[in-house]
């Protein structure tokens, strides 16, 4: 009887641990999928906004040339000087003519033609939360170059945030599992103590009821 009871207790304990592990893994996978989907949506929205900015600047450049492009950039910067939009127009020596960056990024485009770079000291926005930029570059007539983009988190930083977020959830799930184990062990100790007290009480009462 004692062996089967111990086996039953051990099986219940193992099943409980398996349940906790499966539940924790399911929650982590679900939250990770939601976070990844949200991060991808944010990046697609940012890229679409940059493309819209480029379309507006291209119209000004086609209608009035370099003067119209400069005027459009100045107007946009005056409306939202601390906004997330990034503009930089440089000459043939890559010296800034107008924009809210202090220099041309020293990185090349990726396979999709995007420049992912660290913003300088004259970065936007001014709240200190954005330290990276994502933009497209264009070569204009006369040797001029134009950079159009936005400031904000990049995929690598978002991925790092996902990993950190999942690790935090994993630590919490591990703590809860440990608490469950401690609680289970405490319950078993109290149960054994209760059974021992009950056995002692039964034996004591049995001795008192024995006829003399």
* HEC string for the chain: CHHHHHHHHHHHHHHHHHHHHHHHHHHHHHHHHHHHHHHHHHHHHHHHHHHHHHHHHHHHHHHHHHHHHHHHHHHHHHHCCCCCEEEEEECCCCCEEEECCCCCCCCCCCCCCCEEEECCCCCCCCCCCCCEEEEEEEECHHHCEEEEEEECCCHHHHHHHHHHHHHHHHHHHHHHHHHHHHHHHHHHHHHHHHHHHHHHHHHHHHHHHCCC
Question: Looking at residues 92-119, what average pLDDT do you find?
Answer: 91
pLDDT at position 200 over 70: no
Query: For all residues of the chain together, what is the average pLDDT?
Result: 75
pLDDT of 75 reads: 93
pLDDT band at 69 (very low <50, low <70, confident <90, very high): very high
User: Which pLDDT score, from 0 to 100, does residue 95 have?
Assistant: 95
pTM to 2 decimals? 0.58
What integer pLDDT is reported at residue 88 of this predicted model? 95
pLDDT in tens, 2-57: 444 554 455 656 666 676 677 777 777 776 777 677 767 777 888 899 999 999 99
């Amino acid at each position: 009887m004692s062996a089967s009871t111990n086996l039953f207790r051990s099986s219940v304990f193992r099943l409980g641990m398996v349940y906790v592990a499966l539940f924790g893994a399911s929650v982590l996978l679900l939250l990770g999928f939601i976070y990844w989907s949200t991060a991808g949506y944010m990046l697609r929205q940012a890229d679409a906004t940059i493309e819209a900015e480029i379309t507006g600047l291209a119209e000004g450049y086609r209608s009035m040339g370099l003067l119209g492009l400069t005027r459009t950039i100045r107007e946009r910067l005056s409306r939202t000087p601390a906004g997330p939009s990034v503009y930089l127009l440089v000459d043939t020596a890559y010296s800034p003519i107008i924009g809210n960056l202090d220099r041309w990024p020293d990185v090349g485009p990726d396979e999709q033609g995007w420049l992912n770079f660290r913003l300088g000291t004259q970065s936007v926005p001014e709240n200190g939360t954005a330290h990276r930029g994502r933009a497209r570059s264009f070569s204009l007539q006369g040797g001029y170059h134009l950079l159009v983009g936005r400031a904000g988190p990049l995929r690598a930083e978002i991925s790092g945030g996902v990993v950190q977020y999942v690790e935090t959830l994993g630590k919490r799930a591990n703590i809860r599992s440990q608490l469950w184990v401690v609680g289970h062990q405490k319950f078993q100790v109290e149960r054994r103590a209760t059974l021992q007290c009950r056995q002692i009480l039964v034996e004591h009462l049995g001795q008192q009821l024995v006829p003399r």
